Amino acid sequence: MAVRIRLSKRGRKKLALYDIVVSDSRSPRDGKFIQKLGTYNPNTNPATVVLNDELTFDWVMKGALPTDTARTILSERGVMLKKHLQVGVDKGAITQDAADQKFQAWVSKKESAKTSAANALVSKKEADKKSRLAAEVKIKEAKAEQVRAKKIVAENPVAAADLAAAADAPAEAAE
């Protein structure tokens, strides 16, 4: 029996959620499965993956083949690297301690990259918010100036004529 690690779709139209499952390759996508390993939600930014890494690693070591999408998810989580290192340990090319150190170094590097990406996203959102606020303040000040000018015109028609003459004078001086 060929065993695959693949995604099983659930959720509603245009808001799909996926279960990461181990199933027989002959069973339908949303049909019978052997074991549920986790969930994948592509609707969030960044995509949310909840996965039992140890259980998934056990299935991969037993020979379960992931689909292309599942392989990408497992690679992001480090399951495929852990398998690669474990195969090296089994062949005697590397010691278990060295493999564990390499895996921990990869995990720490991955976490720091994920944290910096999240911080960059937050700072970008804050900068966008500040720029939108500054644009709104400029528009608000321009409208307030227009209202002030209309109020002057309504209260004192003589001052309005002086205001119009002052506006024409710089235009004539520029010519």
Q: Which of 67, 94, 121 is the last residue of a domain?
A: 94
Say which residues have a Cβ less than 8 Å from residue 15's Cβ, sequence separation at least 6: 43
Same domain (yes/no): 72, 28: yes
Domains in the chain, number? 2
Q: Which of 94, 120, 155 is the last residue of a domain?
A: 94
Same domain (yes/no): 77, 30: yes
Same domain (yes/no): 8, 76: yes
Ordered per-residue pLDDT tens for the chain, 175 residues: 689 999 999 988 889 999 999 999 888 877 888 999 999 999 988 889 999 999 999 999 999 999 999 999 999 999 999 999 999 999 999 899 999 999 999 999 998 998 888 888 889 999 999 999 999 999 999 898 888 888 877 777 666 666 666 666 655 555 5
Residue 41: inside a domain, yes or no? yes
> DSSP secondary structure string, 103-132?
HHHHHHHHHHHHHHHHHHHHHHHHHHHHHH
Determine the structural domain holding residue 140 and report its residue range.
130-174
Residue 36: inside a domain, yes or no? yes
